[in-house]
A and B are shown apart, each in its own frame.
Chain A
Amino acid sequence: DAGVIQSPRHEVTEMGQEVTLRCKPISGHDYLFWYRQTMMRGLELLIYFNNNVPIDDSGMPEDRFSAKMPNASFSTLKIQPSEPRDSAVYFCASSFTNYGYTFGSGTRLTVV
């Protein structure tokens, strides 16, 4: 298995632009998680899905953030409009029955 695949690896965008981050989980995993990592706050859970259904989005910082999982093999995290304080590394992870997470390599987002 290729593991959890995230794209792009790096994204630099201007403030106000829309940003879309993508994730392909491990086949057969029924949970998908989006985390954000910053120096100040460490790793924080943004949202997670079980069987493609959003379960808890209370970690999404603002309405500018949205996430979808249209099928078992694909998820997106969208920020519209982006702001400099959104600069961080965004990780996607997947697991089977919320046991033993596998993380992707992350997307480093820089908003200038």
Chain B
Amino acid sequence: KQEVTQIPAALSVPEGENLVLNCSFTDSAIYNLQWFRQDPGKGLTSLLLIQSSQREQTSGRLNASLDKSSGRSTLYIAASQPGDSATYLCAVAGNTPLVFGKGTRLSVIA
């Protein structure tokens, strides 16, 4: 059974810092990995999707990498801003639907 772990559970950084969120999964037989953002009391917004054949994807200040063989992904956020404060969720899809980690709650302090 696929299990997804996100470390750290919470992170607080000053504005302007570059930061890395980590995601690990137990079964490397995945089709794709998706990073989501969730604001308090809101739904999930898809940030980046990496197919199993890809190593990374970039969107603006966000860069996600995937190392399928080691079961790891990272989400890099450059020049963090207070508006980046949210919970970031990692999810993997294999021959089953998306399995989610419990997220990293990010606070960017102005």
What bracket does the count of chain B residues touching chain A fall in?
20 to 34
Compute how far the CA of A31 lies from the CA of B93 in the bound complex, rounded to whole angstroms. Answer: 13
A106 at the interface (CB under 8 A from B): yes
- Determine whether the beta carbon of B43 is less than 8 Å from that of A101: no
Residues in A with CB closer than 8 Å to B98 are 33, 45, 93, 101
Chain B contact residues, majority secondary structure: strand
Q: Give B43's nearest chain A residue, CB to CB.
A: A105
Instruction: Determine whether the beta carbon of B100 is less than 8 Å from that of A42.
Output: yes
Chain B residues within CB distance 8 Å of chain A? 31-32, 34, 36, 41-46, 49, 89, 91, 93, 96-103
Q: Which 9 A-B pairs have the closest CB atoms?
A: A43-B100, A103-B44, A42-B102, A105-B43, A103-B43, A106-B43, A100-B49, A48-B97, A45-B97
Interface of chain A: mostly helix, strand, loop or mixed: strand
- Chain A residue nearest to B100 in the complex (CB): A43
Q: Is A102 at the interface (CB under 8 A from chain B)?
A: yes
